[in-house]
Structures are given as structure tokens and as C-alpha cells.
Structure 1
């Protein structure tokens, strides 16, 4: 096996993105990344200062007027970034790795009561795990660390030393952030949890139980189908029962390992529990066996720290006002990006979507939203949500192939998995939840109600065993309300032409064309 090293090209420009205007200049994070040569995954949106007096935005840039231009110093661009761009912990931590306390202490000492000086002070000590030679602030009003107008904030934890309310939606070892977008704000205002609760409350308990059972099984099958698998019926039922228990016990390492055992039926060739070697998603070169990664998992020696952080963030957010659908996206997608297990990560990732929605009370008790079924219908968008994270990070990981056809990561990569912008994943998943509650769930309930009406008609029209009536309705449903020639000649050869016509007409009346 060729054990060549694969690494990034350090000669490229840090900001490999054209400015929106020829005379524009970098500001905030863009300037810090460029000036300090921070090799980090590029923020989705960067800031620039125009020579014109019109503020506007593109898909890749926020463009500000000359009056917004910051002082061209470390402090000036940090303040600009926090004020206008929000929190990017990956960039900030990489910057703090490059500078020393001597670079930040002077402007904090000069302006110890300033809002942004205190935020930078807190962030430097928090991320670098150091204490600067600056005395505690004695009396000052507390200020929020994250601006709720720019990003969704977590529960507030006061830092007395800095007089800062730490409202990051996570802990130091796992803290993705989600930008406020028009799409997410609009979806959150839909109050989907209440809509689901109202819908569930208006459905007859028998119909609801049957719908829940069917949707649970369908979601289980869809979770396998997403990975190109078609499991035996009993295995799909078994995983459906596992999903049905989601949200009942707090997330833990032991619990996740038990779930992996439910996913992996035959573990003879699989290391169970957290990985003890590298991991990647992709293929192998046919000729050489060289790994061809689409995604490289977190280093195995970072797994305990990352997963403890993920579990701590789950517990932090579940009792807070943080939107539950965003929590589910952060936790579940964060899990699959870390990829802690050798196998079973995909289904556990989708299990976590259910777990968080149920644990936070977003999903009504006794119901499981068929989110995997909706994801399967939107599989291309799902892959895009995964690739939006993975593709930009591949060039930040130095690795070599092992003799086993695996990858060994050679550089520090923990920040790639604990600090990232989860907005694309949050938007994708919220749209799936919206489709589930407004379309998939009502459609299944309506189908069962129509099914019962059709079955009553069949039983009143002719004496027929339940299983035969069920088969008749299923055949009609599969063939758009018409009984096929094969069914007429085999299973339902005893029916007259008039009886078949009556059933077909009634089916069309109840279900529509």
C-alpha cells in the first residue's frame, strides 16, 4: 500500500473567493483570516467594505459602506466581526492559537468595561483555557456573549469575572452555531409542535395508534433505504421499536453503544464501541486500494472529548428555549460528522433526530414523525446538507493511507468537528419537519380514515374475511382504483363484474382519482 501523505497546499491565498467589487476591502473575519493566514474552513458569508454608500448582501458577501469600516487593527476587526458577523468559534480559536496574551491584554486593560473588549477577553480565556493577567470586573451590567439578532442563542450562564452571559448553544468541546435566516425564522414562527399537537388531538385514538405504528415502520424502512439497504421485515420492525423508545432516557455513551448493538446484527468483522482507528466515507481506488474519501471522520483519540461535548450540549439545550428542531439538527448532524463508530453511524444519526424532538417535547407523546421517510424523498438535498460540511473540510485534513485501506489523520482536526456553522443542516432538517407535520402525517391519517370507510362499504356490500377485504383495498390502491386483470382472474375471480365495478366506483369516490 502506498503510504503517501496528503495535505493542503499552503501557498494558496487564504481567501480563495473574489471580492464583490474591485475596490472593496476585507473586513472582520475575512481580514483576520487573510492577515494572520488562518487556514480554516471559510465562513459561508464574509464581510467587505465598499467604496460606495450602499449596504447590500450576496450569497457569499455582506457588503458594508465606508462608514462601517473598522479601525485596521486586531481589535478593530474583532469588534467588527462580533458586531456584524456573529460568532465563528473556529476562526476565533485559530486566531487565538496564533497570537499571544500580549496581543490582547493591552486593549482589554485599556477598555476593561467595553462590551466587545469583555467578549473578546471571555472568548480568549474560554477557548484557550488560560487566565489573562487582568483583574475581575467588580461592578458592571452583564452583557450577552452571542447576539440573538445574528445567531440562535443557548441558555445563559453568567461569567462573574467578565460580567458576561455565556449564551453559546453548546459547551467548549461541542458548539456548532446556527445563523438567523429568514427561512428559519419563518419556519420557527409556524409553531409546528403546537400544530402537530392540535392535529393529533383531533384524531380518533384508534386511527392515531395505527398511523403511529405505520409511520414508525415506514421510518425504519426509510432509514435503511437511505443507505441503500432493504432489510428483512423483522429487522425493520425491530429498529422501529428502538425508534419508538427514543427520548425516554438521557443520551449517554453507554446508551449509544447499546443502540449500535441494535443496528449491527452481525458484529464479527466490526469493532463495537468508539473507533480505535481512523475512519472515512468514500471508496477505494480499484487498482491501488487507496482510500478516496468524501468525508474524513474525527480522529479516534478525540472521540471521548467530542462525544462528551456532544452529550453535554444535548443536556444543556433540552431544558432551554433553544428551538428543538435546531437542537436536533446540531446534535444529529454533529454526531454523523464526528462518526464515532466503525459502523452504524447513519441510522444512529437519524435516531438522534427523533430522540431530541421527543426529549424536548416537540413531538407529541406516543407519536414519531416519519422524518427518515421525508429525508428519503429529499435524498439529493440531504446529500447536499452533508456535503456542505464535508467538502470544505477535506483540504484541512492531512492524512495518509494505512495498510488496511483506512486513513490515519496526521494533524490536529478537533476544531473541525466541535465548531462549525450548522445553518445548512438546520434549514434542511426544519424543512423536512415542516413537510412531515403539514403533509406526511395528515396524508397518512386521511388514508386510514378513507381506508376504514372503504372497508365498511366492502363489508356491508358482501361477506368477505377481513384479510381478503384488506387485500382488495390494497390492490385497488396499488392500481389507482382499478382491480388488475391478474387480480380479477386469481384472488378475486369469485367477484362479478358488477361487484368489481361497485368497489372501483366507491374507491374513486372515497380516495379520489
Structure 2
């Protein structure tokens, strides 16, 4: 079955861009049909020749949407004369106008208009297929650049049913209702737990157990996310310095060296991701910061936070601390939206830790094809030479659909599972502790630990735990704790917690 459209162009020209995941292919169908694996195209609807580069790009714009990295890479293989002839044949054709607009932007050269383009403005991104942003008008071609960002930095997010359903659940509105339903003390205790565990799990994702000083620093950082401040290089440097304790790894600016990620294996094959070259980082980050500072109020805040967080970690602008910073920036963008009350936190890192395999897969969906476009050569012990096959456009224009879906799911779970379970846990904990404390004379720390264990394990305290406290707790007290815990859990059972963990105010 023959390829059509973007994937045919990518392969024929050997373009240094990501493979098209759902390519268009000629199949025995009577009309163009989208499938789970791509686009089925009848032969009569495809360009007549494989070498008709212009025809395949116009076909792709019409039927496959906008792929800016591929269009940028293909631009040098098209001439102004070819495009001018296409304009003369269909001067007001919308896909010709789109292609000319994109070509002029990426080449910096004009296409002759004869006759001049007339008619109404058309959108580059179809709002029925993509989430879009405010229009930036190109008056020559009467095309609106309406992507999520600007020509300098633009992510694309498809209007999938999963994302539409998650957006319609209105997580931040539900978070405000959740806050209103708790008294001040219960809310404070729930949020104290959230800040602490958001910190611990953000570090845990990177296989690190933070020291007490690091925990306090990151909690303070999270609480500063509500402070109104423009995101720029100095702000990000200050953030990086606050979470990286080793002075040798603290930044004074965006990185000026090449960094990479490794799976621990020796040699070039162990290099799993190569972020953009250091000379490309300042311009990429300028586009990224413009997106972050302007997006508030123009896009669902959780979608914006997901794009900002993942986009940051893909650029990897520092030598250390990028992962933790990316997760902090998720909170920063949410708080910038003004839709979370002061001090409110959605503990997305806790949810991410519970779905770590999926989180890593979303990262790999970008990092693996990006790695394939870099030639890595070992030149010494732990040192490599990098030859980039692609320019910075794969980081500048990227498909954020999977990242947004994951971010929305994690924000929803952070509220509906993590925060709600914790508030329920605290209510149950207080109810059990109060009754047992009235009936038995137990040390406060021991009682708190046993109640937490019983709540965690569905109303059971194991034999090992009983032996641990055998000299200070009677069998009657154990039975009373288990009985009371089962009673409260029968009403509203909380989710799993870490064993031996009492609420953080104890």
C-alpha cells in the first residue's frame, strides 16, 4: 500500500523530523476514512505522482492537518516559482494560501501573487480538529496563524474525545467547590499533607529522597507559585538555584553545554535523550516564556500547564534540576490562571508517581524520536560528540496531545483521589483517635501510628505491628481500634496510603 501526504514527503526527502504516527495510505476504499492507525485514501483522491511534492503537501494540509516541523523542513525543497504557479492556477485556494504563508515564514522569501489574493481570512489550524489560540494575521495571504503560541513557539493539541471529556469535567471549578466544603482546619491539614507529599513524590520520580532542608525548600517554592511574577531567564535561574543544593550545579544562565539523559548503559547506546544544542536554547526559551506569560486566560489552565511543563523538560535548559522545575511550573501556570484560591495545590506529582510508567511513556513518546535524529559518538570516558540531524524546530513546534491528556488526567486524579482521600483520612483518623483516646490510656504517638496503620490496611493491624507495641498496648485496645476503623471505613473508605503514616499535624 502506497504512502500519501506527509509521510511520503518525509521519507522521499529523508527529512529530519518525527515519523508520522498515523500516516495516509492508499487503500481499497471509496472515500477518505480516518482509522486508528492512519488515514485510508482511495487512489483517485491521492496525487497522481509520488514525486509531486507540492501536491502531497497540499493533500496533507487538507486531510492531515498542520505539521509545522515537516513543512519547515520541506520548504527548502520547494521553489517560489512552483508556489507562484500554484497560486496563479487557484489564487484563492485556501490550502495553497496556507502553504505559501508557511513557506514565506520559514524561507524569508516572497512568492509572487498574480493576481493578488483576495477573499476572507482563513485559519491555519482547523478549530474543529485542534485547540487554537488568538489569531495573528498574515495580510499577504489572508491567513490567520491561530496556533497555541506564536511562530516562535507553538504546540499543537488535537481535539480528541478523551481531552474534550476531561476539559468538560472542569477540574479547577471542582477544586474550588472542594475547598468550600471543608472547614478551615481540615483544609489546612489536607493542604499541609499535599505540599509535603507533592515534594516527596516529585523527588521520588527522579529516584531521590530529599533531605529535610530540601523538603522545606521545595514546599516554600510551591507556596510561591501563587505570587505574580513574569517567567523569564532570571526567574528560572533563581528557581533552579533554590532546588539544586550543590553550588557547582547551580546555574547563572541557561546552559552553555550539551546535556543528555542516559539509562546507565555504557557507550552511545546508553544515551536515551539529547535535548537541543546549547546555542539553540536561548531562542527556544524565549519562545517558551512568551507562551507561558501570555497563555493565561486564553486556554484551559490545566492544558496550558501541561504544555508548559512538558515543553520545558524537553528543552532541558539547565544542566540539573529540570524535572523538578518542570513539575513546579505545572503549578505555576495553574496559579497564574487565577482559578485556584490562594494556597490551593493540586498534588499532580503524587498522581504522576502512582502512574509513573505512563508518565515515563509520555516523555519517551517525544524523547525517543528526538534521540533518533541525533548521532552520538563516544569520545572518552562518559563524554560524547553530538551531531544533530534536525534543527530546533522539532522542539519549537511539537505535538502536545498526549502530554495534555496525561496532565488533565493527573490533575483530575490529584483532586478526586489524592485530596479527597486525604481529607477523608483525616476525618476518619480524628474520629477513631478521639474514641480510642477516651477509652484507653495510650501514648499519643503510638495511638496515631496504630490508627494510621489500621486505616491504611482496611481495619487490620498486623501481628508484626502488634508485637512491636506489645509492651504498651493491650489486646483490647488493638481490637477497639480495628473495630472503630472498620466502622468508619464502611461509610466512606479512603484510598491507600503509606503504612505507618499519620496526618502531618501529629
User: Does TM, normalized by the shorter one, top 0.5?
Assistant: yes
How far the C-alpha of 1:285 sits from its partner, in A, is 5.4
Which residue of the partner structure matches residue 275 of structure 1? 255
1:498 paired with 2:498, answer: no
Cα contact 1:278–1:408 (8 A) shared by 2: no
Deviation, structure 1 residue 176: 2.2
Counterpart for residue 29 of structure 2? 52
Can you list the C-alpha shifts for 1:237-294, whole angstroms capped at 9, x where unaligned?
32122122225322111111111111111123565532221111005655xx657210
Structure 2 equivalent of residue 225 of structure 1: 204
Residues 206-225 of structure 1 aligned to structure 2 (within 5 Å): 206-225=185-204
- C-alpha contact (below 8 Å) 2:429/2:452 kept by paired residues: no
Kept after mapping to 2: 8 A contact 1:272/1:342: no
> 1:507 pairs with 485, 495, 502, which one?
485
Provide TM-score, normalisation by structure 2: 0.88
- Which of 177, 180, 192 is matched with 2:159 structurally? 180
For residue 126 of structure 1, the aligned residue among 105, 112, 124 is: 105
Structure 2 counterpart SS, 1:246: helix
Counterpart check, 1:367 vs 2:344: yes
Aligned with 1:167 (options 130, 146, 150)? 146
Whole-angstrom CA distance in 2 between matches of 1:50 and 1:279: 44
Q: Is the 8 A contact 1:291 1:406 kept in 2?
A: no
Rounded Cα–Cα distance in structure 2 between residues aligned with 1:399 and 1:135: 48
Deviation (angstroms), 1:457: 2.0
Q: State the 1:487 CA deviation.
A: 6.1
User: For 2:183 and 2:337, how far apart are their aligned partners in 1?
Assistant: 25
Q: Deviations over 1:96-130 (max 9, x none)?
A: 02223222222124433222222112211223333
- Corresponding residue of 1:335: 312
Q: 1 or 2 for the larger relative contact order (CA 8 Å, sep ≥6)?
A: 1
In the aligned structure 2, how far is the partner of 1:509 from the partner of 1:469?
17
CA separation in 2, counterparts of 1:45 and 1:443?
39
Give the conservation status (yes or no) of the 8 Å contact 2:87–2:96.
yes
Change (3 A) 1:409 1:318: farther
Aligned position for 1:104: 83
Task: Give the 4+ runs in structure 1 shifted more than 6 A.
Answer: none
Hey, what's the Cα distance between the residues in 2 that align with 1:135 and 1:196? 56
SS of the equivalent of 1:420 reads strand
What SS does the aligned partner of 1:409 have?
A: strand
Preserved CA contact (<8 Å) 2:149 2:291: yes
| Alignment deviations for residues 446-505 of structure 1 (CA, whole Å, 9 cap, x no partner) | 112212222332344356675554344234335553455676677574554434432331
Q: Unpaired segments of 5 or more residues in structure 1? A: 1-23
Deviates more, 1:398-407 or 1:166-175: 398-407
Rounded to whole Å, the distance in 1 between the matches of 2:264 and 2:378 is 11
In structure 2, runs of 5+ residues without a counterpart are 494-506
Q: Which residue of 2 is the match for residue 32 of structure 1?
A: 9
2:331 is the alignment partner of 1:354: yes
Partner residue, 1:145: 124
Alignment correspondent of 2:500: none
In 1: Cα distance, 2:467 partner to 2:136 partner: 72
Compared CA separation, residues 335 and 26, structure 1 to 2 (3 A) = same
- TM-score, normalised by the number of residues in structure 1: 0.87
Q: CA RMSD in A?
A: 2.7
* Alpha-carbon separation, structure 2, partners of 1:284 and 1:474: 38
